[in-house]
Amino acid sequence: MATRDGALERAREHFDSGAFLEALARRIAIPTESQIPERQPELYRYLEEEMKPEFEAMDHEVRIFDNPVEGRGPVLIASRIEDSSLPTMLSYGHGDVVTSFPEEWDEGLKPYEMKIDGERVYGRGVVDNKGQHCLGMAATKAVLDERGGRLGYNSKFIIETGEEQGSHGLEPFIQSHTDLLATDIFLGIDGPRHSLKMPEVVLGSRGAAYFDLIVDLKREGGLHSGHWGGVMPDAGIILAQAISSITTPKGVILIDDWLPKSVPNSVRAAARDLVVDKMDNIPEPEDPEWGDMSLTKEEKVMTNTSVIVLAYRCGNPDNPVNSVPSYARARLQVRHVADVKREALGPALEKHFAAQGFGGIEVVETGRELFPAHREDPDNPWVRHIVKSLERTHGGRINICPGAGGSGPRGFFANHLDCVAMIIPNSYAGCGQHGPNEHGLKPLFREGIANLAGIYWDAGEPDAPGRS
Amino acid sequence: MSGTRDGAIARAHRYFDDGSFVAELSRRVAIPSVSQEPDKRPALDLYVDEEMTGSLEALGFECAKHPNPHEDSGPILVARRIEDESLPTVLTYGHGDVVRGLESGWSQGLDPWTVTRKGDRLYGRGTADNKGQHTVNLAALDAVIKERGGSLGFNVVFVLEMMEERGSRGLREFCDANRDLLAADVMIASDGPRLSPKHANMFLGSRGGFNFRLDVKLREGGHHSGHWGGVLEDPEIILSHAIASIVDRRGRILIPEWVPKQIPPLIREMLKDVEIDSGDEAPDFPEDWGEPGLSQAEKMLAWTSFIVLASQNGNPDNPVNAVSDVASAWCQLRHTSDVDAGRFEPALREHLDANGFQMVSIEADQRRRRRASRTDPANPWVGWARESMQRTVGGNVVHVAPNQSGGLPNDVFEDMGMPTLWFPHSYNGCSQHAPNEHMLASIAREGLGVMAGLFWDLAENPPKS
């Protein structure tokens, strides 16, 4: 008789037999560096040769689409509809990797030749993200086999190949394929866990907005600082003043409309309860009183807005000359949680400057495609179902991360597909994901494949929450 | 002796009117004596050996070229014209070096190394800074010598440096080591701009300068802004707050020790009627920048200025998603001798500490430090020179200001114990360090007359000392 434990056992056996890493090694060998235009054929090859056959073997209908944005990588959609009355789960991964710089890797390691050294599995893409979406595929196979050729839910996968370039084209693609992608649950399989000791579900991510602040006094030529200093306005002083008005000297944001009015208690509680492993080389603020002191470090990143000055220049810093600068420019990044609307950030900043009497500050929101903020409620029935599933597989409590500090594409899916969106991470903070020596940990892979098999199994059980 | 004061002034004017001034200046401008480019070093010697030594010897000077106390630096020329040790001695000063030509930036038809007249403007590198100015003064001396039949009636020592555009490297050491050679009763020289092109002008000194860098260096390397934004301190936010604590939104300095307790009443009186006029292309002054309640002239000449010259954080050409590790601002103070410059750095440190900015470090640029200095406006030489200037220009207002706003090496001469009088022959619109540098012909001609009158009066009617 088919059982949950049987599915988990099949999943673990798939890893223990070496089949999982064998397939992964083949996939790592394809250098899918999306930041290098010449690598675009590799992106297609990855989807055509490695993804498509495996999904078809699981009776998924596979389509590969060109990216709607010229020069960006293709998108694969695999779909297996068992019954339209069943819930649908859309799993997400990306097949592209960041540029490798092989000379920076340790001796004996090559980014595109996967190597196992003790518990570590080295190679570019092992954790970001090939190894992770392959866990989802293998876990699906385990459930399918255990249930005798049936999943008990509708399965969809989307594998994009432009994530490391900011997922350009993904949002319009989703918008023009909402029927094909329609789902109840979005399950991203990506990113690092906060603790090696317990599985994790990530319920949200912050959005990011970028603003250039420009002071341009429009003076031709230089004004000698000896004569004109203290007489003619200094763009460097004006912009420093403007930036200083945004926060307290301790970095607490002073623009009320940038801050969440109220964060659900369940979200705060989840942030406070998060177990975070102590790691070497983790930077600490020198000033223990930096930022909003009513918040823990996790709350600052997961439940609040942050602002930083990514870059700033006035005058000629390489060779400062005796001249009163007429031009200064800064780029701000504002990361915000789902409780704050991104569209409100720019007007709030302009209103703030106007109220403070800074007439001459030009605010320009920079034109890059931006990931939206998103967060699910920890009390959502599907969230609780998946948390319960992970707790059952793990045999104890798990981490519920209310929001990753970084940004990601999940909000596109949540917004356009009207689904519940979550991330299951299977890597760890020390994985070196964008640098040399990227690696995964065998125990985390083995655990991850079982965790996902448990989630897929439970999605097909009668007590699943059903259509959302 | 025959001759008259008016005769001397007329000779000086004639020198301009018959084309001699432009011809002489053209010869000097044609020598590309750029001190900022090591391969132009031969031109520095050429200017001293060929051009100035010959011209000065023709006026009766004895010339001696001295090596710069610093290596790889232009020479210093000392020319002495001693008629009688018992007569008063004037020390005069000029610099023969210029900044880079920046050839490609000049308007069509202009070339930095060729004097070109267009309307009232005499274009060319060094016309304003400083070849045109010492050319005026030497020609005025020549006019007085000729008018007085060969004798000047006082002694002149001319020191010409070739490193002014490199911060007058070596000048102080040289002057300190050669006090006897350079000893004089008064220094009379010309450099920098007038306060208005319309009014003859005298400065009694120069503001000083203090450059420093503020750094907020918190850690090594950037950290992903998604994970660390709001958790790790942002150096630019701290630096902006530090700057905002030093100076308010409209440029008013907030560190009391940095500014004069008050502008001395005599200085205030001198500046009462001074209106800054920088010519047609000068920017308009905003009324609401800088210390409230001060006139433009007081802000420029009698107060302290704080300037953020440059600032940088992160990679402005290609901003990345990271909390930066370091932010820096290059800052400058310009100040009069009414403040204690020795307190600038300690007062800043105390101010930053008191405001919680212990993490902001101060890196003072000792090399480019220049002391503020000025001659006491009550010194008899000041009133004497003002009367002389006024007599030459007739009904036109003359400007007497306590000090120049920018940096003249006045402190070097003040330390030699003589009153210092500066008569600028340029104006603020002269583009002195930029392409299209020019001198105004009208100022050059008026300056020739003013200096001839001054030297005449020095011979005939020196101040009682």
Is the minimum CB–CB distance between A81 and chain B shorter than 8 Å?
no
Residue B408's pLDDT is 86
Do residues B388 and B451 touch, judged by C-beta distance below 8 A? no
Residue type present at position A103: E
Is the minimum CB–CB distance between A312 and chain B shorter than 8 Å?
yes
Q: Residues A44-59: pLDDT tens digits?
A: 999 999 999 999 999 9
Residue A368's pLDDT is 62
Smallest Cβ distance to B244: which of A240, A291, A325? A240
Chain B hits for A358, Cβ within 8 Å: 249
Question: Phi and psi dihedrals of A405, rounded to 5?
Answer: -65, -35
Do residues B196 and B277 touch, judged by C-beta distance below 8 A? yes
| Torsional class of B394: left (φ above 0), alpha (ψ -120 to 50), beta (otherwise) | left
What is the C-alpha to C-alpha distance for residues A455 and A44, in angstroms, rounded to an integer? Answer: 30
Chain B hits for A406, Cβ within 8 Å: 224, 226-227
What is the C-alpha to C-alpha distance for residues A252 and A247, in angstroms, rounded to an integer? Answer: 5
Judged by CB atoms closer than 8 Å, whether chains meet at A285 and B315 is answered as no
Is the minimum CB–CB distance between B165 and chain A shorter than 8 Å?
no
Give, to the nearest 10 degrees, the angle between helix A442-459 and helix A130-146: 50
In this predicted structure, the answer to whether residue A466 has a pLDDT above a threshold of 80 is: no
Residue A331's pLDDT is 96
Which residues 335-364 of A have a C-beta within 8 angstroms of B? 335, 357-358
The CA distance from A12 to the nearest CA of chain B, in Å, is 32
Smallest Cβ distance to A231: which of B231, B290, B321? B290
**Banded pLDDT at A280 (limits 50, 70, 90):** confident
Chain A hits for B249, Cβ within 8 Å: 238, 241, 357-358
Do residues B426 and B129 touch, judged by C-beta distance below 8 A? yes
Q: What is the DSSP string of B380-409?
A: HHHHHHHHHHHHHHTTS--EEESSBSS--T
Smallest Cβ distance to A308: which of B244, B304, B323? B323
Q: CA angle, corner A124, sides to A122 and A129, nearest 5?
A: 105
**Banded pLDDT at A322 (limits 50, 70, 90):** confident
Judged by CB atoms closer than 8 Å, whether chains meet at A312 and B313 is answered as yes
To test the contact with chain A by mutation, choose from B210, B212, B232, B303 the residue with the greatest count of A C-beta atoms within 10 A, namely: B232
Chain B hits for A404, Cβ within 8 Å: 226
Chain B hits for A311, Cβ within 8 Å: 313-316, 319, 324
Residue B370's pLDDT is 87
Name the average pLDDT for chain A. 93
Do residues B170 and B68 touch, judged by C-beta distance below 8 A? yes
Judged by CB atoms closer than 8 Å, whether chains meet at B231 and A300 is answered as yes
The CA distance from B362 to the nearest CA of chain A, in Å, is 16
What is the C-alpha to C-alpha distance for residues B117 and B164, in angstroms, rounded to an integer? Answer: 26
B213 membership: H or E segment, kind and range: strand B208-217
What is the C-alpha to C-alpha distance for residues A467 and B198, in angstroms, rounded to an integer? Answer: 86
Residue positions counted in chain B: 465
Chain B hits for A335, Cβ within 8 Å: 225-226, 229-230
Is the minimum CB–CB distance between B260 and chain A shorter than 8 Å?
no
Give the 3-state secondary structure of residue B183. coil
Name the residue in chain B with its Cα closest to that of A225: B307
In this predicted structure, the answer to whether residue A128 has a pLDDT above a threshold of 90 is: yes
Q: What is the pLDDT along chain B (465 residues), one digit of tens a residue?
A: 579 999 999 999 999 999 999 999 999 999 999 998 889 999 999 999 999 999 999 999 999 999 999 999 999 999 999 999 999 999 999 999 999 998 988 999 999 999 999 999 999 999 999 999 999 999 999 999 999 999 999 999 999 999 999 889 999 999 999 999 999 999 999 999 999 999 999 999 999 999 999 999 998 888 878 778 888 999 999 999 999 999 999 999 999 999 999 999 999 999 998 888 877 666 677 889 999 999 999 999 999 999 999 999 998 888 888 889 999 999 999 999 999 999 999 999 999 999 999 999 999 998 878 899 999 999 999 999 999 999 999 989 899 999 988 778 899 999 999 999 999 999 988 888 888 999 999 999 999 999 999 999 999 999 975
What is the C-alpha to C-alpha distance for residues A71 and B253, in angstroms, rounded to an integer? Answer: 53
Is the minimum CB–CB distance between B282 and chain A shorter than 8 Å?
no
Which residues 238-257 of A have a C-beta within 8 angstroms of B? 238-241, 243-247, 249, 251
What is the C-alpha to C-alpha distance for residues B334 and B309, in angstroms, rounded to an integer? Answer: 12
Question: A27-36 burial, b for 16+ CB within 10 Å, e for fewer?
Answer: bbebbbbbee
The CA distance from B100 to the nearest CA of chain A, in Å, is 14
Judged by CB atoms closer than 8 Å, whether chains meet at A249 and B300 is answered as no
Distance between the two ends of chain A, CA-based, in angstroms? 30
Which residues 401-420 of A have a C-beta within 8 angstroms of B? 404-407
Do residues B65 and B162 touch, judged by C-beta distance below 8 A? no
Residue positions counted in chain A: 468
